[in-house]
Every structure is written in C-alpha cells, then in structure tokens.
Copies of this chain bind each other. A is one copy, B any other.
Amino acid sequence: MNQPAPTTDPESRLLALGLSLPVAPKPVAAYIPTRRAGDLLFVSGQIPLVPGPDGSPTLLFKGAVPDEVSMEQAQECARRCVLNGLAAMKAAVGSLACLRQVVRVGVFVCSRPGFFDQPKVANAASELLMEVFGDAGRHARAAVGSIALPLGAPVEIEFIVEIDPACDP
C-alpha cells in the first residue's frame, strides 16, 4: 500500500494515487446523499455506479461474490463505492480537507452462501480511505454478507465521518 506523505491534503493524495473524484452520483431514490447532525456527517449507502457509455450511471459489475463477481472485481467495486462516497462528502462540506476523521464504515457484500471473505472485499475500501486520509482515515467497521443489493450491486458501503468544526460555513 503506497501511503502518500501525511502532509498533503486528501484530494492531492487521491491524485497521487491516480484517482480522481467522480461527479457525486444522484441517489437511486427518495433520499439525500448526506445528512449532517452536529459534527457527524452520515453518508447514504453507495453502490459502484460509474458513468455508462451513454453517460447515465451503470454498475461496474453486477451479481454475487464469488460466483458472478470475482474477489478482484468486488474489491474494485468497494473502491468505487469509496470514491462515490467521497464525492458525496465533498459536495456536502466543500472540501475533503474538512473531514476530521472517518468514524464508521458499513460494508454489505452480495454473497453466495459459504462465501466468508467479506472482510477481504471491505479491506479494499478501508485501505483506500487510509491512503487518502492517513491515520484520520482509520475507522470502525462492520462487514457482512447480503442476499441481494440494490440494482444487483455486488457491494454497498455507507459512511459516518466527522467534520472539522473549523470548516463550518
């Protein structure tokens, strides 16, 4: 894991990792991407949507792990969920530098019975958060299997992050 220097800001770290923030995906339904309460920002469950050939959001992969989606593909999905979540956070607070710490990450992996490597899928998300935020990216986590996720997503990830009060408007 290539850990960038802790002094660079989170968005520079993303660039250094060869990644960039996507446009924050619109919620699939009647809710909002983030809700703030005090210093906590609650981020809605993210699925690995990417812009499709015609520009409309499409799933990176579809189905259950490991039969329809491989471990590597599921990990790629987990990283995409993080990027979509970061885009939603930035849209909410203006800059990723306003995040004091990542608090909790909830990971749901669409799993066949007998698939027990949810933590290995979730690690791809956790490691990306640590690469982007350094120690502030370390978090409590729950990773579980799910029989089916929205649109057929292999992974859904939700976040609770703490905002730096100094960033208050």
**Bitwise interface map of A from 135 to 154 toward B, beta carbon under 8 Å scored 1, else 0:** 00011111111111111110
The residues of B that contact A29 with a CB separation of less than 8 Å are 119-120, 122-123, 126, 141, 143
A166 at the interface (CB under 8 A from B): no
Contact B142 A106 (CB under 8 A): yes
Of B40, B106, B116, the residue contacting A149 (CB under 8 A) is B116
Given contacts A37-B101, A45-B141, A113-B147, 5 further A-B contacts (CB under 8 A): A32-B138, A44-B140, A116-B152, A140-B158, A144-B149
The residues of B that contact A33 with a CB separation of less than 8 Å are 140
A90 at the interface (CB under 8 A from B): no
